[in-house]
Amino acid sequence: MHRKRFAGIPSPRSYPILGHVPITKPDVEGFVDQIMGMASLYPDEPRMVTFWAGPMPSVMLYSAELAEVIYTSSKHLNKGMFYDFLLPWLGEGLVTSKSEKWRPRRKLLTPTFHYDILKNFVYVFNHQSEILVNKLNEHIKTNEVVEIGSFVTLCALDIICETSMGQSVNAQTLKDSEYVRAVYRINDIVQRRQKYPLMWNDTLFWLFGDGKEHKWAINVLHSFTRKVIMDRKTRLHEEGSAGLGRLAFLDLLLDMEKNGDIDLGDIQEEVDTFMFEGHDTTATGITFVLHMLGCYPEIQEKAYAELQTICGTSEEITFEHLGQLKYLECVIKETLRLHPSVPIYARRMEEDDKIGGFTIPAGTQILVNAFLIHRDPKHWPDPEIFRPERFMLESNNRRHPFAFVPFSAGSRNCIGQRFAIMEEKIVVAWVLRNFKIVSLKRRDETRLKTELILRPIEGVRLQLTPRPK
């Protein structure tokens, strides 16, 4: 695309044909600093920057006002090219599908995430959190320090497997599961591929990249979900829904199949999509919340006092409790503001359109940078300060509607956001009720990396002390 069409939009100095490729930092930390550093390099309006990967332009937006054009558009609904690397795993499920396929599918699946359905999962959230607390108790008998992310990730994986497929993979209790290994491996391979433009070429990827392992992982992932789907379909047919035990998303999808709305291939795409989108995101979300609670003792005690008042001696966190845990919700949201699990997401311009007074040509990749939108001093005074009260009702009502966008916004927003907040609340509540948490590193000492997901480079190390019963 011709560079003249982007004249006037800020852009760091680049090379004539290769663009920014030679100056892109290859290491994960350097890359984050470079991308997020744009807000320091170009802090003023229009808060947008152009990058060139060779001849391909990407325009990164980092203001609520500019991102609004994308969120509210009914045209720019397709994703950027980075999502193509997910196609072999996810097929054309909700995250990756093009707008023609996505529109009717989203309409069909939206009721699946209604509170009346999500209520059924409260048991799973509690049950898996209890296992997590037991595992943490076992661990601290021999080692005071816990890398909490690794524990929480297995818990989130068990939760998403059980709620999506009605089948536990027992990631928390089993030492080794091939499916779990394949989930980790595929995430890693996709993220590495996104960062190395040479590996975007399929032939090079197969010859010199992780092609072989990629094939192994896809085979394991698809065989597992295919088998679960077929087993559940057979049981549903033979024993009826009463024979299946707890409800899972899969049962609702199988109902849709019975009505002729989708086929088994479509179901597989959506189950794989939930597995991808629904576990790493919540796992890093919960990890960062626990880190923040461990950094700010007064906030931790306030959240703990609320839990004691609302839940009292009740062993379980019930659906009714969830609505009342208002301060904990503010803590979770403030954590998502400073550490959005998906810090950047991409769309493709389907036709020329005006953003920030510039005409952006069709075909351009738009990167919406939620990490920086959440730090725009125009909407967030003292943006680096961790202050959960920002999310109290009154302040919320006065804010720009797109200043807080961890779940994206508009019609292509996250379908799982209520599920995510419910899960985060319950898992965090269990840990907080059982342990006093101290973070071994301050926030400013915790280095971040961003792959598809924002993560702490060295994990989050906590000291956990059991609270008196």
Minimum separation from the CB atom of position 9 to ligand HEM (A): 22
Cα atoms in the 13 Å half-sphere on the side-chain side of 16 = 0
Sequence-distant (≥ 6) Cβ neighbours of residue 435 within 8 angstroms? 136, 464, 465, 466, 467
Q: What are phi and psi of 258, to 5 degrees?
A: -60, -35
273 binds ligand HEM (CB under 6 A): yes
Supply the DSSP string of 13-39, one letter for each residue.
--BTTTBTGGGS--SHHHHHHHHHTHH
Return d(Cα 227, Cα 229) in angstroms, integer: 5
344-348 and 353-355 beta bridge pairing = unpaired
Nearest residue to the partner ligand HEM, using Cβ: 416
- For helices 417-434 and 297-311, what crossing angle results, to 10°? 100
- Residues binding ligand HEM: number (CB under 6 A): 23
121 binds ligand HEM (CB under 6 A): no
Minimum separation from the CB atom of position 71 to ligand HEM (A): 10
Return d(Cα 375, Cα 403) in angstroms, integer: 9
422 binds ligand HEM (CB under 6 A): no
**Alpha helix positions (H), 259-407:** 264-277, 280-295, 297-311, 319-324, 326-338, 370-373, 393-398
287 binds ligand HEM (CB under 6 A): no
Which residues in the 205-244 window bind ligand HEM by CB under 6 A?
none
Minimum separation from the CB atom of position 302 to ligand HEM (A): 22
Single out the residue of 82, 224, 296, 419 in contact with ligand HEM (rule: CB under 6 A). 419
414 has binding-site annotation:
yes
| CA 217 to the chain's CA centroid | 21
Single out the residue of 20, 47, 76, 79 in contact with ligand HEM (rule: CB under 6 A). 79
194 binds ligand HEM (CB under 6 A): no
* Cis? peptide before 297, omega within 30° of 0: no
Q: Which window, 9-17, 138-146, 256-264, 276-284, contacts ligand HEM (CB under 6 A)?
A: 276-284
Single out the residue of 274, 288, 296, 371 in contact with ligand HEM (rule: CB under 6 A). 274
50 binds ligand HEM (CB under 6 A): no
Single out the residue of 57, 149, 388, 416 in contact with ligand HEM (rule: CB under 6 A). 416
Which residues in the 352-411 window bind ligand HEM by CB under 6 A?
406-408
Single out the residue of 50, 281, 364, 446 in contact with ligand HEM (rule: CB under 6 A). 281
Return d(Cα 372, Cα 210) in angstroms, integer: 32
15 conformational bin, left if phi > 0, alpha if psi -120 to 50, beta if neither: beta
Which residues in the 80-109 window bind ligand HEM by CB under 6 A?
94-95, 106
Minimum separation from the CB atom of position 60 to ligand HEM (A): 14
46 binds ligand HEM (CB under 6 A): no
408 C-beta neighbours (distance < 10 Å), count: 20
Q: Which is nearer to ligand HEM, 288 or 304 (CB)?
A: 288
Minimum separation from the CB atom of position 28 to ligand HEM (A): 19
- Please, what is the Cα angle at 155 between 183 and 468, to 5 degrees? 160
Minimum separation from the CB atom of position 279 to ligand HEM (A): 7
Q: What are phi and psi of 52, to 5 degrees?
A: -120, 120
What is the binding site for ligand HEM (CB under 6 A)?
Answer: 79, 94-95, 106, 273-274, 277-278, 281-282, 285, 341-342, 345, 406-408, 412, 414-416, 419-420
Query: Known binding site for heme: residues?
Result: 414
Query: Known binding site: residues?
Result: 414
